[in-house]
Structure 1
Amino acid sequence: MADVRSELNFAAGRRVLLAGAAVLALTGAAGGAMAADAAGAAASDKTQLDELVVTARGYVPTTDVSATKSAIPLVETPQSVTVVTRDQINVLNIQNLQQAMRYSAGAVGENFGPDERFDWLTLRGFSPVEYIDGLQAPVGSVGSVGLDLWDAESVEILKGPSGVLYGQTPPGGIVNFTSRRPHADFAAEVQGQYGSFDHKQIAGTITGKLDASDTFEGSLTALWRDHDTQLNYAHSKRVMIAPALTWNIDAGTHFTFLSYYQHDDARGGDGGFLPEVGTLLPNPNGQIPVNFNPGEPGYNRFKRALYGIGYQFDHAFNDHISFVQNLKYSVQDEHFTSIYGNGLEADNRTLDRADFLFPEYIKSLAVDSRLQIKANTGAIEHTVLAGVDFREVWNHTQFYFGDAPSIDLYNPVYGKPIPATWFNSPNYINSDNTQTGIYAQDSLKWNHWRLTASIRNDWLRGDVNDSAFTYRVGLNYLFDIGLAPYVAYATSFLPTSGADFGGHAFKPSSGSQIEGGVKFEPHNLGRDTKVFITAAGYDLVQDNVLTSDPNHAFFSLQTGQVEVTGAEFEAVARVHERLTINASYSYTNAVVTRSNDVGATGKQVTNVPKFKASLLVDYTQQTGPLAGLGFGAGIRYLGTSFGDEFNTLRAPPETLGDLIAHYDYRKWRLAVNVSNIADKVYVARCTSTAACYYSSRREVFVSLDRKW
């Protein structure tokens, strides 16, 4: 494997960019040839469209609400935003939120290999927090909740500080999950899927109007999944259901009820916590098998119930003034019982193990209310937003620790008696925290100029009692051809629990970023050709980071700093409903710039690869005897990352390939998706010498869909 594990340098990065640009450039010629071919087979555009056997009109995003809380086109938004649409999820057969990051710039998923519980993500060097329908999910020890992607209308990745509209957030950005909504036009879909590790799944969704007067629209989305994993003796089940209802009170007033329920039951083990020797480094006894289970098949279990209920209310007073309110009550109730690896003994084959019990109950009530006013002052058009949001989070978590019998890595014998836990800390976390924020934003248009200015103040009560002020200002210039350079400055904050040696409570860490870039959404390409390209560079700094107190052991000071400088390129294209392109490149230099920890200053931030690149191309024949047949191929590169603050645990770079084949006939679709086609076995991360994680092996999924 060493021959493929050379670090991607800037020259290689430029080659990837040029390859993506070349493919995009070819779309003009390819599009012309396709159009000519279609013209010869059809007498009009209408006839040509009638010949199309499959469409994905929303594959390339154009507008996103989450970045500005207004329906402002992406090309006019002064922030890097990636939108993974429902059409992208369907065409690429994306299985979960982690996989949705594979062909996106600036974002990395699958940080700890395959995981049945959570979505382990990094975004511009930091772990993002997950939002559902614009409101923060009930997150606790992990920033995501693992809601199934089948219920997603889209996924929005907001890159960089987003505190001005969402309050306390990591400086790298957030991920928003927009759930499916009811539509008046009837549509339905049923999908059956079978794949690697005895993966079985049945899913469906249906939507339409419920009465002749178009007053009510409803939808129902559901999924059942049952599969093993690449780990021996591990098994997982999931059930998800999400009903929704829209009440069209009048032409300008709408009330949409949104809900979801998901139950997960993963038994047998979770993987990971393997020693460095035998995974990342050689072991005289051989490599530890990738399917080795360090847990106890009859003991390890992760059981969780996720549910949320809420609404979105929209009311237009007139053409200029409107009001929107989002509310959601949500719960994450999980119980985690795990035997895991805890270090390798001197014989290099006996794995010490420990026991960890982790029941966690989190509930959240969040509401966001905003008034939007559209008005003109002379030649300047204003879209003014004024809002207030409130969130209360209750967290009740217990931790239990204990010992577990050791096991032979190469000849495991399970089922030995497990002693009772020796350290119990019931009510270790029993908190009630609130955030109240008020914000205002003005989006101004004058000729080709677009100016966005936003301010916000938050008040925190609970474990941390503090307030914080954040702001953002961005400027775009929109050329007639759809080219829009922009520059923006934004801030964020994140609470920090605890106090220094003198008893002074820590203040929130702060994030600030300057970003400049260009977006390109070319016009006049035809009704069935869309392209969206973004290129950006940024400098992001997090201040007030905790670092050790050199004068008082076991205490910290807020004198640390992290700086992330980066460049990103991303292109999404859909040409004549035939050619699909996703291309991305990321350079993320995340460095600890100030620290009292000896040897940490100047080192890369853990679990952040400096380079990432990807290219996926898919083509579907739409006419002739092979109409409906399509193939796609993708290549993904992930650079070196480090698992410890001193950069001694180095996860090497990897290049992976994916394949897609699909056939559409009338309302049916048969698809085969293969990820990691070469079945490369490699270490995704090591966070200590006793905690290494294999990445996902090759997975093959066969799906059969029927639409109405």
Structure 2
Amino acid sequence: MMLHTKSTASLMLGVSLSALLSVSAFAQDEQNGTRSTFLGVINVTGGENPTAPLESSVAKTAATSKTSRTILETQSSVSVVPRAQIDAIGATNLASALRYSAGLITENYGGDPRFDSLYLRGFNLENDKFLDGLRLMRSTQFPTSAPSFELYGLERVEILRGPASILYGAGTPAGLVNSIQKRAQADGNFSEVGVGFDTNSSLSTFGDVNRVVNEDFAYRLTGKVSNERTDVHEIDNKRLYLGLSASYALGDATELEFMGSLHKDKPMTPTGVPDSFVGVYNDKDLRDFYFGDDSVDDSDRTMGTLSAGITHEFENNWKLNGTFRYTNHDWNYHSMYLDPATGSSVGRGIITQDESFSALAADVRLSGEVDTGDVTHNLVFGLDAQKLREKAYTGFSYSSAIDYLSPTYGGLSIAAPWYTANKNVDATQVGLYALDELALGNWRATLGLRQEWTDQSGANVTNFGGTTNFDRRDHQATGHAGLGYVWDSGVATYVSYSTSYLPQPGVDIENVALKPTHGKQWEAGVKYEPTAFDGLFSAALYDLRETDRNTTVFEDIGGSTISGIRQIGEAQVRGLELESAAEIADGWTVKSAYTYSTTEILAGLNSGNELANTPRHAASVWLSHTFASGTLEGLTLGAGVRHIGTRYSSDANTLKLDAVTLLDLGASYKWDNGLVGRLNISNVTDEAYISAIGLNSAYFGNGRNIQASLTYKW
């Protein structure tokens, strides 16, 4: 018997043990005789293990769907960015890894070491990021950005587009991003160590070691020490990442897995630049200017996870998978924010944040196959639950201004906080779900239903607006239905309908607890998996709506005009997404994407406007060539172009961001002795462009950066 081929990669360090184990499943790849680990996929028929290392840039399976079907036969829009593609484009964080994916607008705030900013199908995915199928978060309150996870610790990144509440509970109707950690491998020992640097003065050292102790036990250690800098060198992140993954086969039918992950880092907060300065002063000078102050800016963040999972295969080929995870996140920071400028003098304030978050999560599934006549049913019955607790203090204080033309640092005057908030929240979420994947000849269908219950208590107490009561109970049924047909030629077509919901904190104008927002989507698509070469092509048309959106209104109640919330808002997003990943003959590889979308706020505040940060057109293509023989054998050359069309900076549609086209280059060389050298240049022409606009600040996209690394593998 072979040990789980795909165990989890994690991180562990003396100061803090973190562990992360993924959501489970037990997939077997009978073609190569390997066994996968817990990741929510059960018997991927005829496909590669969706948690395993993949040499190719083309993935045919995805763990995110939690089912037995390949991407080709799945009646949803799903795409995967494998490690090979991540390395080829020189990605350093989650947002940059998704630059070449359809439907996504990434890096909206430029270089931000704290979070990965992602917009998908018109919606902000701040709290819709998952790690091995379990939500990665730092607050129960939407929207609050999930902390960034070290990209070096990931095997692949997956995107599931459209409402996904059937599998993952509460969330936006746009979909989610699921990161898959590196996992212990049972098919052999391997190691690598390396160093990296870039023209922003970033430095890193990293290593990855996998060992097979015997046929039943394997483990993997992964680690990285780095200081990642942005265009503003003071805005950096000193990070230590360590992890451990171990898998142990208790017998022919049972496997136990443990995972740990630790992030110990100091991510600084970008201030942006005064929006009134844009177009007045040189863009590149503004982009590189430090509007903060070292005497104030400080950050100390620790995130750890500890997981355990078990998979058992019964004699009747039914399987039971269980994953249990504890997450702890503590973050204390001080940072500066910008107030309006007067002349060249920029007003500033200080944010003080002290937050802690902990979560217990579990996902348990029973899966198996049943035949009814000529119809085969792959069934999944699941229970997932989370127990969440958070506590946070926030303070805002006025401080000294800075003169852009004659800056001085230090010696700041700091006033007492003019705003304070203390938040305490306890929340529980429990969901029951069932999926039936039907197959009749070449026909495929999916039916899914979920019932979820949430119970939340707590409040946010401020000195400015009183108390916001978070006490509430919600329950919601969501579902998914799909119908598809798979031709023998490798073409598959489908149509699907899915729903979602998202609880809202606070009360309406009548002091009644807000109900959740609701999402629904129709999607039709076609996919093609050629037989002549390794590739996957997809096209998806969708019509997505969110109802019950919060809208601020002014009404006459009791003889007085008061303001409050009515849930009368509605928004619609329609679009076309084209995506391809292929390894063509003679060493050519291509990854391309095109997105066309139209958005409209149908009712409520800003009715008639477009949704923020959603361009009508976006496109990208990455093309590379590997020389397999001759004097250039071992050399790979690549180039990419990314275009982001014009889009509004907010739902108010008062400011429009210019379109931008960016060029990227990459090269790598593999020596026979195990050395691998890599060079990447992002934004080759050093375009200076605004990627987002906040209250008083504008944010530039990342400028040109040249990265180099040298890795030794054995």
- Structure 2 length normalisation: TM-score? 0.87
1:33 alignment partner in structure 2: none
Which amino acid letter does the alignment assign opposite residue 686 of structure 2? Answer: D
Query: C-alpha separation between the residues in 2 aligned to 1:511 and 1:378?
Result: 36
Amino acid of the residue matched to residue 377 of structure 1? Answer: T
For residues 221 and 284 of structure 2, the distance between their equivalents in structure 1, rounded to whole angstroms, comes to 47
Task: Please name the residue that 1:384 is paired with.
Answer: 379
CA contact (8 A) 1:65 1:71 kept: no
Pairing 1:445-594 to 2, within 5 Å after superposition: 445-462=439-456, 463=470, 464-523=472-531, 525=532, 529-551=533-555, 553-576=562-585, 578-594=587-603
Q: In structure 1, the residue corresponding to 2:264 is in which secondary structure?
A: strand
Q: Are 2:213 and 1:210 equivalent residues in the alignment? A: yes
Q: Distance in 2 between the 1:541 and 1:285 partners?
A: 41
Name 1:237's counterpart in structure 2: 238
The equivalent of 1:49 in structure 2 is: none
Query: Does the CA contact (< 8 Å) of 1:130 and 1:145 recur in 2?
Result: no
C-alpha separation between the residues in 1 aligned to 2:263 and 2:494?
41
Aligned to 1:329: 326
Preserved contact between residue 450 and residue 478 of structure 2 (Cα < 8 Å): yes
Equivalent residue number for residue 624 of structure 1: 630
Provide Cα deviations, 1:394-414, integer angstroms capped at 9, x if missing partner: 110111111011111222111
Whole-Å separation in 1 of the counterparts to 2:179 and 2:552 = 37
Residue 199 (1) aligns with residue 202 (2): yes
Aligned match of 1:255: 256
Distance in structure 1 (CA, Å) of the matches to 2:233 and 2:404: 13
Q: Displacement of 1:107 after TM fit?
A: 1.1
CA contact (8 A) 2:271 2:336 kept: no
1:239-388 equivalence runs, <5 A: 239-267=240-268, 270-272=270-272, 274-279=273-278, 282-283=279-280, 289-345=286-342, 347=343, 349-388=344-383
Provide the rounded CA distance (Å) in 2 between the counterparts of 1:168 and 1:603.
26
Show the counterpart of 2:148: 146
Quote the Cα distance in structure 2 between the aligned partners of 1:286 and 1:319.
66
Of residues 115, 121, 126, the one that matches 1:124 is 121
Q: CA deviation at 1:191?
A: 2.1
- Rounded to whole Å, the distance in 1 between the matches of 2:220 and 2:359 is 25
Distance apart, 1:138 and its partner CA: 2.8
Q: Secondary structure at the match of 1:436?
A: strand
Deviation per CA, 1:85-110: give whole Å up to 9, x if none: 12222333321101011100011210
Deviations 1:596-625 (A, max 9, x none): x3xx11111122222210011000101122
- Tell me the equivalent position of 2:25: none
| Equivalent position SS for 2:476 | strand
SS in 2 for 1:647: coil
Give the aligned partner of residue 20 of structure 1: none
Between the aligned partners of 1:99 and 1:584, the Cα distance in structure 2 is 15
CA contact (8 A) 1:673 1:700 kept: yes
Task: Tell whether the 8 Å contact from 1:358 to 1:400 is kept in structure 2 after alignment.
Answer: yes
State the match for 1:219 in structure 2.
Answer: 220
Query: Residue 104 in 1 paired to residue 101 in 2?
Result: yes
Between the aligned partners of 1:500 and 1:553, the Cα distance in structure 2 is: 12
Shift of 1:57: 3.2
Paired amino acid for 1:194:
F
Q: 1:232 to 1:389 in 2, by over 3 A?
A: closer
CA contact (8 A) 2:331 2:354 kept: yes
* 1:139-161 CA distance string (max 9 Å, x none): 32633220111111111111110
After TM superposition, the structure 1 = structure 2 runs for residues 415-434 of structure 1, keeping only pairs within 5 Å, are 415-423=410-418, 425=420, 428-434=422-428
Shift of 1:506: 1.0
Q: Could you tell me how far 1:424 is from its partner in structure 2?
A: 5.4
Aligned-pair RMSD on alpha carbons? 1.7
Shift of the 167–482 alpha-carbon distance from structure 1 to 2, 3 Å rule, reads same
**Gapped runs of 5+ residues in structure 1?**
1-54
Partner AA of 1:238 in structure 2: R
Hey, what's the Cα distance between the residues in 1 that align with 2:309 and 2:89? 30
Using the TM superposition, give the Cα deviation of residue 423 of structure 1 relative to its aligned residue in structure 2, in angstroms. 3.3
1:41 is matched with which residue? none
Residue in 2 aligned with 1:394? Answer: 389
Q: Within the alignment, does 1:639 sit opposite 2:634 as a pair?
A: no
Q: Evaluate the alpha carbon distance shift between residue 207 and residue 94 of structure 1 in structure 2; reply closer, same or farther with a 3 A threshold.
A: same
Contact 1:539 1:564 in 2 (8 A): yes
- Code of the residue aligned with 1:489 in structure 2: it is Y
Kindly tell me the number of residue pairs found equivalent between the two proteins. Answer: 636
- The amino acid that maps onto 1:248 is A
Cα 1:583–1:182 change in 2 (3 A) is same
Instruction: Indicate conservation of the 8 Å contact 2:449/2:477, yes or no.
Output: yes
Cα-to-partner distance string for 1:540-570 (whole Å, 9 max, x where unaligned): 0000000012315330100001111111000
> Displacement of 1:277 after TM fit?
2.1
Q: Give the 3-state SS of the residue equivalent to 1:164 in structure 2.
A: helix
User: Distance in 2 between the 1:694 and 1:183 partners?
Assistant: 41
Residue by residue, what CA displacement relative to the aligned partner does 1:278-307 show, whole Å, maximum 9, x if unpaired? 22xx32798862111111122112221111
Asked if the contact 1:331/1:364 (under 8 Å) is kept, the reply is yes
In structure 2, the residue matched to 1:611 is 617
Q: 1:663 to 1:284 in 2, by over 3 A?
A: closer
Deviation of residue 648 (structure 1)? 1.3
Matched-pair identity in %: 30
Q: Partners in 1 of 2:302 and 2:603 — Cα distance?
A: 41
Q: Is the 8 A contact 1:191 1:703 kept in 2?
A: yes
Contact 2:68 2:378 in 1 (8 A): no
Give the partner amino acid of 1:112.
Answer: Y
Residue pair 2:640, 2:663 contacting (<8 A) in 1 also: yes
1:156 aligned partner = 158
Residues 97 and 149, structure 1, Cα contact 8 Å, conserved in 2 = yes
Q: In the TM superposition, what is the alpha-carbon distance from 1:377 to its structure 2 partner?
A: 1.1
**Residues 231 and 271 in structure 1, CA contact (< 8 A), matched pair in contact too:** no
Moved over 6 A (4+): 284-287
Change (3 A) 1:196 1:319: farther
Q: Distance in 2 between matches of 1:123 and 1:251?
A: 42
- Say if 1:288 and 1:410, in contact at 8 Å, map to a contact too: no
Tell whether the 8 Å contact from 1:278 to 1:288 is kept in structure 2 after alignment.
Answer: no
Q: Which residue does the alignment assign to 1:5?
A: none
Q: Is contact 1:138–1:393 with CA below 8 Å preserved after alignment? A: no
Q: State the SS of the aligned residue for 1:329.
A: strand
- Letter of the 1:85 partner, please give it: P
How far 1:327 moved relative to its partner?
1.5
SS at match of 2:666: strand
C-alpha distance in 1, partners of 2:194/2:447? 44
Deviation at 1:420, TM superposition (A): 3.8
Paired position in structure 2 for 1:672 = 679
Q: Is the CA contact (8 Å cut-off) linking 1:320 and 1:375 kept in structure 2?
A: no
CA contact 1:355–1:421 (8 Å) conserved in 2: no
